[in-house]
Amino acid sequence: MEVTEEINSEGILIVGTILIFSLMVLLIVFFVLYQRRLYRQQEAMRLAEQQYQKELLRAADQTREKEQQRIAQELHDGVGAMLSTTRMYVQQVQRLAGKEKANEFAERADKLLGETLTGVRRIAQDMKPVILETMGLKEALLNLAEKVTETGQVTVTSELEALPTLPAEDSLRMYRMVQEMLSNALKYAQAKELTLSARTEGDQTVLTFTDDGIGFDPNQVKGPDGQGGMGLRTLESRASLLEGTININSAPGKGTTLTLQFPTPKPTPA
């Protein structure tokens, strides 16, 4: 009898141990599965938020671009036309005026109006680069570099053979980014030589912009949130819309290098 009870006790102990162990395994499995599901949900939410932010950036970029093109059209059609008409009146006054002093003032006014008209046209061209639509990104950037060199402030060397053909919206973003880089270099870098080059690395395209200017400490242009100044933020947002990244390498007295890296678009089948 005692032996039977002892066997029963051992059986109960074994069964109980197995049940407890099985319960622990089930709990562990449930916890792991729950954690995986939670991670997938969080990852899905993160990706959705990331996509939402990209869509916001894209919408803001498109709105800004449309507004720039509207202003450019207004400058060309409205202000430009009025300046041209005013210049014609001044030239007519110059021809009709008999006094030497009147001619002198008319000549000055005509010269000033001519310079203003040229400036307005240049602004309109910068805001709505027609060459980008007619000649493509590579030629547009070469033309932009040539114009900057013609100012006499700096010399821009361009090596863009490796630059791929991009969709229209991405080409415009790239053009705006290079405009921003050139503008910042002219304003702040005190450089004499600028270099704009493109190369491919595997399935990535790398665009590099270098100046030999005074350089700066990148940490000094970052705001409280750790992000860069407005110009750098604009570059970063446009780089993200290209599915790329932009890196800045600079130090006081050592010039600046900006590196944009983005996936090379696959050729469209003919």
Tell which of 128, 162, 197 closes a domain.
128
Question: 78 and 48 in one domain?
Answer: yes
Same domain (yes/no): 143, 270 = yes
Which residue did the predictor score with more confidence, 180 or 270? Answer: 180
* pLDDT tens, position by position, 230-259: 678 888 888 998 999 999 999 999 999 999
- Based on the fold, state whether residues 180 and 111 are members of the same structural domain: no
Which pLDDT belongs to residue 248?
92
More confident residue, 80 or 192: 192
Give the count of domains, the chain.
2
In a shared domain, residues 158 and 110: no
Q: Say if CB 253 and CB 237 are below 8 A apart.
A: no
Residues 102 and 57 in one domain: yes
Sheet holding 245-250, edge to edge: 155-159, 193-201, 204-211, 256-263, 245-250
Rounded CA-CA distance 185/193 in Å is 10
Rounded Cα distance between 159 and 209, Å, is 11
240 close to 253: Cβ distance less than 8 angstroms = no
| pLDDT in the model for residue 94 | 62
Q: Are residues 172 and 261 in the same domain?
A: yes
Last residue of a domain, one of 97, 112, 128: 128
pLDDT of residue 267 exceeding 60, the answer is yes
Residue in 189, 64, 187, 79 with CA at minimum distance from that of residue 128: 64
DSSP 220: G
pLDDT tens readout for residues 122-159? 766 666 677 888 889 999 999 999 989 988 889 999 99
The reply to whether 35 and 99 lie within a common domain is yes
* Residue 204 sits in the same domain as residue 119: no
Domain that holds residue 38: 1-128
Q: Do 191 and 233 share a domain, yes or no? A: yes
The C-alpha atoms of residue 211 and residue 188 are separated, in whole angstroms, by 11
Per-residue pLDDT at 214 exceeds 70: yes
d(CA 156, CA 177): 16
Crossing angle of helices 100-127 and 80-96, in 10° steps, is 160
Range from 6-20, 72-86, 126-140, 149-163 carrying the lowest mean pLDDT: 72-86
Regarding predicted confidence, which is higher, 18 or 154? 154
Of the residues 128, 163, 195, the one at which a domain ends: 128
Instruction: Average the pLDDT over 70-76 and give the result.
Output: 63
Same domain, 4 and 121: yes
With contact defined as beta carbons under 8 Å apart, do 256 and 249 qualify?
Answer: yes
Stated as kind and residue range, the H or E segment containing 246 is: strand 245-250
Q: Could you give the CA distance from residue 60 to residue 66 in angstroms, rounded to a whole number?
A: 10
Q: Do 59 and 106 belong together in one domain?
A: yes
CATH number for the domain spanning 215: value is 3.30.565.10
226 with 192, same domain: the answer is: yes
Range in 19-28, 79-88, 123-132, 244-253 the model is least confident about = 79-88
Instruction: Measure the CA angle with vertex 127, ends 199 and 267; round to 5°.
Output: 35
The pLDDT score that the predictor gives to residue 8 is: 62
Task: Grade residue 224 by pLDDT with cuts at 50, 70 and 90.
Answer: very low
Report the share of the chain in percent with pLDDT over 70: 62
pLDDT band at 20 (very low <50, low <70, confident <90, very high): confident
**Is 83's pLDDT higher than 90?**
no
